[in-house]
Structure 1
């Protein structure tokens, strides 16, 4: 029976029940299985409820409009990313979004607004009631100022009549190259998570005038690597209302910032003094993870107490090249005193960078390595050999990155030969979405392999502000 799709003999209701909880991204691999499974995936409501537009070709726009029509009056999410100014964006895309605003759950617009009429039409489309929307992400830029470069000195301002004041479920807002007006915007009063990107603060503006728009704000993210971006906000009472701050290293110098709310640090240029000050309020063993976003060209450092593990994101080759260039021009960052870290997560493409930061890790018992495609642990992807200073290591976790990699045992053996301290006698190797071909270990500790799911290894109690990642 090999090669036959036995699922065709199962009752359709069983298969529909199996696919019931699948997200949009979970359905994508199913499209490649067979024509039978492809038909089931295309019939899934979640497939049609996540509508994306990445280019302004006539075919792409027509497909975008058809998919909105195919939702059959059900709620849906919209993701539009156009790098160049497009006439069709203002004449076809925006009117369709505006006419269906009452059914949109989340809206992401990363668009070029070089033409002033595009900006006018965009803000007009956002002035319709949106009773179901939970997240809004705006990334507005011009041809001379792409979204990954510095923003205009005076960014555009959200309309006071955003969503006609009707957005009772709006909880997440992300702004890049667009700011909020001085007048109160009623639709923003329920925002719980705010992401402040390039240009969200007017040059020489006062951050203290920015926050009154968000009386219920609890999670604040600064996602801009520029040191000069950090605002000075000296209101102890308002900082005290926040439960989570994503900061950059220079913000740690602000004495009014309560360090217990800082859970992420932008960049890795943290000095030992800043690191020590940040951890003064933490008493127990710690978790540490590195995360990077290629299109934004920065690295995040997560620090949590051991009782609250977090979920790391995988990264791709763009960050590796960027980190290599940074090291070539600036050298390795100064080592940090990581003496209380129990769980450490390093993306494979930042392995060399991370090793340069860790002069000593005597307390690390669990090391999690996120493997990236296309060739995880291949010779071209492994940096110069360097043994980890982890004499107490008990468990090595290998996680699948952007896919489901299959690793030859010989490659894994070569990696372990130089990465794992020779004084270890036994090492647990947990595989999460990674499959290792059989082989024989020699000159290594006793390897005990176990197959695990990512959920079994690390739960996901570390919520992200940007729900558009759809983790």
Structure 2
């Protein structure tokens, strides 16, 4: 027999010997019982020897069957198309995709090592699989293994809320700090006692995220990264602060500041933003700034951010929003999200208090004017002392152009409504949805102003209105291009709906006369009407409307003319 065949004989011999010894122990007990009964002699010894041989033969047969089954399974694995046709590099890439799409984590990745020998070899030869480490949930022994398996690959370090029973974070901090030269990203969330990580020299750090990092908030002047600023590209600070004069604000592509007092006036924030001319995303949420006594929007220094595509100014005082927007020179594809704070709402008038002065509004106007779809909804206050809310969503080809959340009292809501299309023009706007106009105390004159400011509307949806407001749409004086009208949650009579449709639609059935006495030059005829949750609508009325329109939609069903 060859050496490769002989290497399994020792294990087979040990298995057979163990089973024979087990048989002997049981057989000795049987022999003693037979001796007490007087049945001893040569036959008993022959039975013992025979039993031992049968046990040894059975053990060899069982072991051989198990060994052959294991070899067949292993051979089948190697014969599958995954192993026969795919190179190891591609299998390694597939493992990385599985991890990136499902976020397996270090514990989940260990399953790759237990599938087959080939999987284990490929996984251990893929350093990027092991480069993401959560030191608040990973045992130190596994952390050491991950650092070893990741070799020289840049590391993504996370330290989130640890489990109550887990007390190895301090040990992991020491292990990770020894590899600070490999850090690519550092995410610290709600964890104290890891200040030493911010004191490490991290020359390759690109992403820094500090969320509710109270020790940094209590000591904002602390020197970080040994005084040598790493090449950070994305900076996220929530509940903590790094002085705006720090060099970490230079060269950023993403800046996120939230829930913090910056200990600076708005001019200092503008200077920090100016240090990153390649900035692509700016997010400011509930930050407190010192008011500048000499604040003058007309003399503000402008900064050019030609790569900026997203600006979020959330829960900030109106004067802060206005000042920041006045300083920015941005590309026309900018997406803007704005929400004013609750300071001095009694003096807040509307969009004019948020947007830059008219002489400095053109860069922002270029972005806002791209919208072809607008939805404006008003929400009533639940208590007398609470302010109202106006939400404005502007889109172009289903992509966000702007999101406004305007807080204020009745006068601000009314002015916000009537300033649509006036504060900034929207010449491309085709679709308009107005929700709860009555909450904004809108009068027919206010609605007429909106329609007059937005003459390009082709689709109009009204949710929560009355006949007084809808009377503005009689004839073609307002919204001459209107082709589709949707009315929802409104109290309207059957006679009024028929009158409204007759004034804007042309009879389409052959032999019927035109019901319009006069049509404005260039005006479009109403083509479709949708009625949802409107009292007074009957099947008979729908039948009448079918003779006037190409399409009628009622919450009782679809009605298409024959």
Q: What TM-score does the superposition give when structure 1 sets the normalisation length?
A: 0.49
Higher relative contact order (CA 8 A, sep 6+): 1
Larger Rg: 1 or 2? Answer: 2
